[in-house]
Amino acid sequence: MVLKLYAVSDGPSSLSVRQALKVLDIPFDLTNVDYGAGEHMTPEYAMMNPQKEIPVLEDDGFYLGESNAILQYLCDKYRPQSELLYPQEPRARAIVNHRLCFNLSTYYANISAYTMAPIFYDYQRTELGLKKVHIALDVLETYLQKLGARYVAGDNLTIADFQLFNSTMTLEAIDFDFSQYKKIYEWYSNFKKDNPDLWKISEDAMKEIKHFIANPPDLTHLNHPIHPARKIKKKK
Ligand SMILES: N[C@@H](CCC(=O)N[C@@H](CS)C(=O)NCC(=O)O)C(=O)O
């Protein structure tokens, strides 16, 4: 049975999985999950992923959420013993795993709270939020400086690049100038230049995000359990 990916078209973690599938050259069916329609909040979706988050991978009756776990599974199962995207050597692999954890715990967490959440929900961009973005950028800048390599975990592209790249892309989406972080700016620009087909996947999503910035969506109908809906003034 062909792999199935449930993904949201502008979600950073969904984009990373699509990029990995492309580089690994694994055939898959893409099912678009309509976030605005709350398709990820149904009981049926919760059977696949009790966290009610997107993406989810379905492999012949095996369901997996959490994009880091999906990326690692794809490499382990479909390219075992391969160096492509996920090195075998323990320390090289540990650096990739470290970057994935750093993205999940800090980089994506701090950045998306500032970039994405206020586009869709009733959140303000605050000084504290901005400070957290700079902390995240500062740490990645330091890792890149210390490693001195072309990619975030070494001289080759890995699954960690996808995650950190797509988090950074959301900064570009809101026209946030991060060029003062020289190493990040260089790595981000090189990624685009070196991988135009992968950048296209992120760029299409960035255009969607920009569209939502220009046309703030009304998600009141979702009754989201956590995020406060933005009160949009109805035209009379
Ligand atoms: N830790 C998850 C996070 C993925 C994530 O943030 N997904 C968002 C869409 S981009 C989501 O499903 N959010 C659920 C919601 O806002 O209701 C992963 O890496 O897969």
Token pair for 177: 């100038």
End-to-end CA distance of the chain: 52
- Give the SS3 label for residue 63: strand
Per residue in 136-171, pLDDT (tens digit) is 999 999 999 999 999 999 999 999 999 999 999 999
Give the separation between CA 75 and CA 88, rounded to whole angstroms: 10
Alpha carbon of 53 to ligand 1 centroid (Å): 4
Supply the DSSP string of 158-213, one letter for each residue: BHHHHHHHHHHHHHHHTT---TTSHHHHHHHHHHHHH-HHHHHHHHHHHHHHHHHH
Q: H-helix or E-strand containing 114?
A: helix 108-115
Alpha carbon of 67 to ligand 1 centroid (Å): 9
Alpha carbon of residue 69 to chain centroid: 13
Domains of the chain in sequence order: 3-78 (3.40.30.10), 90-214 (1.20.1050.10)
Question: Which amino acid is located at 176 in the chain?
Answer: F
User: What is the per-residue burial (b if ≥16 Cβ within 10 Å, else e) of 5-23?
Assistant: bbbbbbbbbbbbbbbbbbb
Give the separation between CA 113 and CA 174, rounded to whole angstroms: 12
Query: For ligand 1, atom 13, which residue shows the shortest CA distance?
Result: 53
If one residue of 54, 56, 66, 159 were mutated to test the ligand 1 pocket, choosing by the most ligand atoms within 8 A of its CB, it would be 54
Predicted confidence band at 232 (pLDDT cuts at 50, 70, 90)? confident
Per residue in 85-130, pLDDT (tens digit) is 999 999 999 999 999 999 999 999 999 999 999 999 999 999 999 9
Question: Which amino acid is located at 207 in the chain?
Answer: K
Per residue in 54-65, pLDDT (tens digit) is 999 999 999 999
With a Cβ cut-off of 6 Å, ligand 1 is lined by 8, 11, 13, 40, 53-55, 65-67
Is the whole model's pTM more than 0.85, yes or no?
yes
Would you give the DSSP letter of residue 65? -
Cα dihedral angle (92, 96, 98, 103), rounded to 10 degrees? 160
